Amino acid sequence: MTYEGGCRCGAIRYRITGEPLSAGFCHCRMCQRAAGTPVVAWVAFRRDEFRFVKGEADSFKASARATRRFCPHCGMALTFEYAACSATIDVTIASLDEPYAPEPVYQIWMSSRAPWLHTES
């Protein structure tokens, strides 16, 4: 299976050749601040099945153990790589060309979930 996606402005494109490993909602404060939204829906793939095929995503070290990549032109959040999980990469579901295929099945960091946000998974 091939999944493709990219940022809003089209400068950054990526392709995944493989199946999603899992998908879910993260309510952590770092995701909230990185994306400017109360929750981020992520889908995980094998890192060796993911590659950027257009443009140069910018990145920042969200912590000593995590790297977030985003488009330097439109700012869209694209990926999250956790050093302790070097085999996988998280991709923002909304950046996929078909964003509703991998259905979120878990929720994490419920302690910082916005109390008025009701997500099911």
By CB under 5 A, name the binding residues for Zn ion.
7, 9, 11, 26, 28, 31, 71, 73-74
Tell the smallest beta-carbon distance from residue 109 to Zn ion (Å).
6
Output 28 or 94, the one with its CB closest to Zn ion. 28
How many Å apart are CA 34 and CA 12, to the nearest integer? Answer: 18
Question: Of the two residues 1 and 111, which places its CB atom closer to Zn ion in the complex?
Answer: 111
CB 7 within 8 A of CB 76: yes
Name the burial class of residue 84, with classes exposed (0-12), middle (13-18) and buried (19+) by CB atoms within 10 angstroms of its CB: exposed
Cβ of residue 28: shortest distance to Zn ion, in angstroms? Answer: 3
